[in-house]
């Protein structure tokens, strides 16, 4: 499903110094896999996440998702593929406080430019019920607990029924109990709904929840 071949990512600092964030990355993530990408701060894992999530392009190398080489796609095509294929879950939740829970969950359907084959509001309400936040439809994110906000974020990630869930430090702002709940939800999405789940983390205990661990250090995959 996802194949990175000889991927490099370089940044220019002050237009004169080149910083290599990723070098010679070769990674295959199969359909329905549950993997974790682990590394310390500055290791390149966030850069790798951005490339896997189609938020950035490599400087060199090839990224292929479902047979599509992303280097051949323009920004609009990339945005469309990202919207349909990938659901994002972030450490900071990335909810919009001026929108209600229901409105936050519906955001990806609003950005979608094609014709939806489902009723967005009906599906959003089902996800709200599934993740035990029923009754919070009209609440604003800043009135919810951290665990509730992350469940809203997961519902938003699932509204377009993506095949890939990309979770960046999904338990980083949660206490241990809520962290366990979120990890359990991600496991169920992989096992029961056949989602490809990728967790990016610096926490080995979180990483061990995945079936496969990819370790990155200094921009290089070391195991």
For residue 115, what is the domain's CATH number? 3.40.50.300
Computed from CA positions of residues 103, 104, 110, 114, in that sequence, does the dihedral angle turn out positive or negative?
A: negative
Q: Domain residues for 146?
A: 34-58+71-221
Q: Is the pLDDT of residue 14 over 90?
A: no
* Residue 26 belongs to a domain: no
Q: Is the pLDDT of residue 213 over 90?
A: yes
Q: Is the pLDDT of residue 114 over 90?
A: no
Rounded to whole angstroms, the Cα distance separating 165 from 162 reads 7
Tell me if 65 sits within 8 A of 54, measured CB to CB.
Answer: yes
pLDDT given at position 145: 95
What are 78-90's pLDDT values in tens digits? 988 999 899 999 9
Q: Is the pLDDT of residue 15 over 80?
A: no
Q: What is the CA radius of gyration of the chain?
A: 18
pLDDT given at position 217: 96
Position 12 confidence tier, pLDDT thresholds 50, 70, 90: confident
Average pLDDT of span 38-63: 94
Euclidean distance between the first and the last CA atom of the chain, given in angstroms as a whole number: 20
Rounded alpha-carbon distances, angstroms, from residue 49 to 53, 117, 123, 142, 192: 6, 29, 28, 27, 24
Most distant CA atoms of the chain, gap in Å: 55
Q: Which of 173, 158, 143, 56 is nearest to 107 (CA)?
A: 158
Coil, strand or helix at 20: strand
* Residue 114 belongs to a domain: yes
pLDDT given at position 113: 81
pTM for this entry: 0.93
* Residue 27 belongs to a domain: no
* Residue 149 belongs to a domain: yes
What is the total residue count of the chain?
Answer: 223
Rounded to whole angstroms, the Cα distance separating 207 from 35 reads 8
* Residue 9 belongs to a domain: no
* Residue 158 belongs to a domain: yes
How remote is the C-alpha of 55 from its chain's centroid?
A: 10
* Residue 208 belongs to a domain: yes
* Residue 2 belongs to a domain: no
Question: What is the share, in percent, of the chain residues with pLDDT greater than 90?
Answer: 83
Give how many domains the chain has, as a whole number: 1
């Amino acid at each position: 499903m996802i194949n990175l071949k000889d991927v490099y990512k370089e940044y220019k600092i002050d237009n004169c110094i080149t910083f290599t964030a990723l070098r010679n990355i070769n990674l295959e993530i199969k359909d329905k896999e549950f993997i974790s990408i682990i590394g310390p701060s500055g290791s390149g894992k966030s850069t790798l996440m951005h490339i896997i999530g189609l938020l950035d392009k490599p400087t060199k190398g090839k990224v292929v998702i479902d047979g599509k080489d992303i280097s051949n796609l323009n920004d609009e095509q990339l945005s469309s593929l990202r919207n349909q294929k990938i659901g994002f879950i972030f450490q900071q939740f990335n909810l919009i406080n001026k929108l209600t829970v229901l409105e936050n969950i519906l955001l990806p359907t609003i950005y979608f430019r094609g014709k939806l084959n489902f009723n967005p509001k009906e599906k959003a309400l089902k996800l709200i019920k599934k993740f035990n936040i029923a009754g919070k439809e009209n609440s604003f994110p800043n009135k919810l607990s951290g665990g509730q906000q992350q469940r809203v974020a997961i519902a938003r990630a699932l509204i377009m029924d993506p095949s890939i869930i990309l979770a960046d430090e999904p338990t980083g702002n949660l206490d241990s109990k809520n962290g366990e709940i979120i990890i359990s939800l991600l496991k169920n999405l992989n096992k029961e709904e056949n989602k490809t789940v990728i967790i990016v983390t610096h926490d080995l205990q979180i990483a061990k929840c995945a079936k496969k661990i990819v370790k990155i250090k200094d921009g290089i995959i070391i195991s």
